[in-house]
Each structure stands twice: as structure tokens, then as C-alpha cells.
Structure 1
Amino acid sequence: MFNEWLWGGFAIVNFAMILAIYKIFGKPGLFVWIGMSTVVANIQVLKTVELFGITATLGNIIYGTAFLATDILNEKYGKKDAKKAVWLGFFTLIAMTVMMQIALQFTPAESDTVQGSLVTLFSLVPKVALGSLAAYLISQYFDVWIFSKLKSKFPDDKYLWLRNNGSTMISQLLDSAVFCTIAFSGMPLNIWLEIFISTYVIKFIVSFLDTPFFYIAKKMKTTN
């Protein structure tokens, strides 16, 4: 159970840090967080761990915080700022990908000890890279759209949980479907379904766990 307890604590740390950056820096802090989280999530996702009896990727928590950040922006500042944040995250991910591919082409010095590790981390499998970019953009845009729809139909604060959970859980389902379809195309259906289901189960749990932090952010006063 060590991984499960550590994973729970890791989730709390991630959500607490997004509240901290929002409290200190306001709206700009959320923009910075989204850019950072898209990059870190695509590094952490390379590590697989055993959680709740299934094999899962590690990047799902910090990736989920990007959805929390866009929901906070949508709730407190509007749809326009949430969309801007989505594009910022997308550009950050592309910029990191391009820069690291160029960096890998440099011939390392004889004393270098990290080239092999960098190659392992940042060498792209084309379908996985395309799947990650497409899933991020499609699911995040859908999250902004469905959050706005839910907010217009259920504007009272008593429905905060519905706006947050409904938009994130559905958009995370779309994210998993797009990523798995592109990245694992041609894979036997039973294996594809196992990856898809296990990936979404973890994302669903993360979406549920971020609810109290969304409520705190809603009430939080910032200077920006």
C-alpha cells in the first residue's frame, strides 16, 4: 500500500501548490502553472507504477491539475481567459518538444554523463507525441466549453461541484480516448481497452480529489 499512500499525499501536495501559486500570484500564477504542468506531466508519464492493483502512469496527477487551473480561470475570470490558458499550455508543450529534440542533436563531451538519460526521456515516439498533443488540446477545449455550459445552466454556487467534476470527468474521458486511439492504434483491442480503462480510472479519482481545492480557490482572495 506504500504507493497508494504516497500517491494520495502526492495529489494533496500538487493541489496545495496550485492554491499557493494562485494565492501569491493570482491569475498569472495559474497561467504559469498550466505551462509548467503540461511539461512535467509529459515527463512523469514515462514512469509507470502499480496503484490499486493496476499499472498506471505517474503523470496523471499533475496533468489533472491543469484541468483544475482552467476550471478556476473559467469560474472566476471567464471563458476567454480559460481558452488563453489552454493555448499557453499547448504552446509550452510544443516549445519544450522542439527545443529538446534540437538539444539531443548536440554531440556530448567525453565527460558527459546525462546524454543517454536525456535520449531516454525526450526521444519521441511519433504516435505517442501526436496523441499527447491532440488529447491535450481537444480535451482542454472541451473542458472549457462544457464548464461554461454547466455554469450557464447551474450558476448557483451550490453547483460548484457539478461544474468542476462534470466538466473534468467528461473531458478526461475524452482525453484518454483521443490519446489511446492515436498512441496505441493497431494494438489488440483487449490490451487497448485495458490501457484505456486503467488510465481513465486514475484520472477519474484525481478529478474527484480536486473538488475541495476548487471550492477553496473559489473563495480565495488574490491581488491579481
Structure 2
Amino acid sequence: MEKPNPPAAQQRFRYYDIVMASFVAVLLLSNVIGAAKLSTVAGFTFGAGILFFPISYVIGDVLTEVYGYAKARRVIWVGFAAMIFMAFMSWAVVAMPPAASWDGQGAYESVFGQVPRIVAASIIAFWAGEFVNSYVLARMKVWTKGKALWSRTIGSTVFGQAVDSAIFYPIAFLGVWETRDVLIVMVSNWLLKVLWEAALTPVTYIVVGKLKRAEGAEVFDTDTDFSPFATSKPSE
């Protein structure tokens, strides 16, 4: 008689750590490399990081779909801690007095010397948006009985990125930009991220399919504690 798979919290997954590392790497690099540059393509101006940051949401969808909410929750906290350390390290390195023979301080400050309120907005928005994204996807997986993956990946992004944008732009720019501009950028960037997620749906299908086969796992969060602060339990 074939034994049933153990709960997700008890399983040893082959690729979970790799997916976690990929998530954190994309998260940090999109904030460090892309966030400081504005680009204009075909008359449309946007932050360059927006092209790559949504990939972290795709990986987040993969985490929840393959490994379940409890495993995704752990990765979100790891990413949250990594962002805090990145912000502290950026501040510390910029604040250190440059050597007299080094003339790169100005360039360093322009790239890494971010405004504290923008850093805080980014960290808070990421934390809230990712948890909403993971929660919605996990719930929808149970409702759809594991079918129509596209509806879960796009649906969770609609809500997760809405929360992310609704937190980030007001905290970062309200009072600095005109209120109208904040609202326009907030909505346009939310829409662009959702469209980007939809465009990457075929890639998500491929990655999810391969990981599920490799891990031999199909996790449904029927009895999961969805609190962001809960610790993983065997029942999860």
C-alpha cells in the first residue's frame, strides 16, 4: 500500500532553498539596481526596476503553489530581513567618510543614498503585498481545487500588487509629488505589474509543473494558520 505524502512542513524538498535564494536575489537586485533609474521607452517613463521586481511575485506564486503558504511565509520573512539589512548596509556605506583619493562619493550617494521614507515605504509595501499575494493564491487553490492556475497567479497579483502600490506610493511620495501624480503613477504601475504577471503566465506554468513533478508535492492549505506571525506546524 502506497503511503500518503507527509504534511508540507515535514517534507524535505530538493529545490525549496534554490527557489528561496532566487526570490531574495531578484528582490534585492531589483531594488538596488533598478530602483534608482528612470527610463523612457516609446514616450513612457517608468522606474527601470519595474521590469524585474514583478519576477519576485512570480517566484512568490511558485512558492505558494508548489510548497504551500507556510513555506512561502518563511521566504517572505527572509526577504523582509534581507531588505532591512540592505537598507542598513546602504546607509552605513554611504555615511562612511570617503578616502581623499576616491572621487566616487557623489555617484555612490546618488545610487545608494535613498531617502529614508522611500526605503521604509518599499519594505512595508513588500511585506504586506507579498503576504496578501500568497494568501489569495493559497485560498484560491483550495476554492478551484487546484485547477485554472492562471486565475490564481493573476488574481493574487491583482490584490497583492494593489496593496503594494497603495502602501508604497503614498508613504514615499505624498506631499512630495502632487496628489494627482501619486494616484496616476500608483494606478499605472499597478496595472503594468499585473499585465507583466499575465504575460509571464506560460513561464509560471512551466516552472510550477516541473517543480511539482520533481518534488512530488501538491500542497493544499486547508488547515493552515494564515497569520503572518504564525510558526509552521506539522498540520501545515
TM-score past 0.5 threshold: yes
Contact kept? 2:154, 2:194, Cα under 8 Å: no
- Report how far residue 122 of structure 1 moved: 1.4
Residue of structure 2 in register with 1:121 after alignment: 111
Residue of structure 2 in register with 1:168 after alignment: 157
Structure 1 residue 39 corresponds to structure 2 residue 40: no
**Residue 21 of structure 2 aligns to which amino acid in structure 1?**
V
Equivalent-residue separation in structure 1 for 2:205 and 2:164 (angstroms): 24
TM-score (normalizing by structure 1): 0.82
Secondary structure, aligned partner of 1:56: strand
**Residue 63 of structure 1 aligns to which amino acid in structure 2?**
F
**Residue 95 of structure 1 aligns to which amino acid in structure 2?**
F
**Residue 53 of structure 2 aligns to which amino acid in structure 1?**
Y
Secondary structure, aligned partner of 2:95: coil
Residue of structure 1 in register with 2:232 after alignment: none
TM-score (normalizing by structure 2): 0.78
Residue of structure 1 in register with 2:221 after alignment: none
Structure 1 residue 150 corresponds to structure 2 residue 129: no
Contact kept? 1:55, 1:198, Cα under 8 Å: no
Deviates more, 1:125-134 or 1:101-110: 101-110
Equivalent-residue separation in structure 2 for 1:182 and 1:154 (angstroms): 35
**Residue 201 of structure 2 aligns to which amino acid in structure 1?**
T
Aligned partner of 1:177 among 163, 166, 170: 166
Contact kept? 1:169, 1:207, Cα under 8 Å: no
- Report how far residue 29 of structure 1 moved: 1.4
Residue of structure 1 in register with 2:5 after alignment: none
Q: What is the percent sequence identity of the aligned residues?
A: 25
Number of residue pairs aligned between Structure 1 and Structure 2: 199
Residue of structure 2 in register with 1:27 after alignment: 16
Residue of structure 2 in register with 1:14 after alignment: none
Residue of structure 2 in register with 1:141 after alignment: 131
Aligned partner of 2:38 among 33, 43, 48: 48
Equivalent-residue separation in structure 2 for 1:95 and 1:121 (angstroms): 17
Q: Deviations over 1:76-105 (max 9, x none)?
A: 111111111111111111111111211222
**Residue 100 of structure 1 aligns to which amino acid in structure 2?**
S
Secondary structure, aligned partner of 1:129: helix
Equivalent-residue separation in structure 2 for 1:178 and 1:141 (angstroms): 13
Secondary structure, aligned partner of 1:104: helix
Between Structure 1 and Structure 2, whose CA radius of gyration is higher? Answer: 2
Q: Is the helix fraction higher in 1 or 2?
A: 1
Secondary structure, aligned partner of 2:40: strand
* Gapped regions of structure 2 (runs ≥ 5): 1-13, 217-236
Residue of structure 2 in register with 1:17 after alignment: none
Deviates more, 1:47-56 or 1:60-69: 47-56
**Residue 81 of structure 1 aligns to which amino acid in structure 2?**
K
- Report how far residue 223 of structure 1 moved: 6.8
When the two chains are superposed, the root-mean-square deviation of aligned CA atoms in Å is 1.8
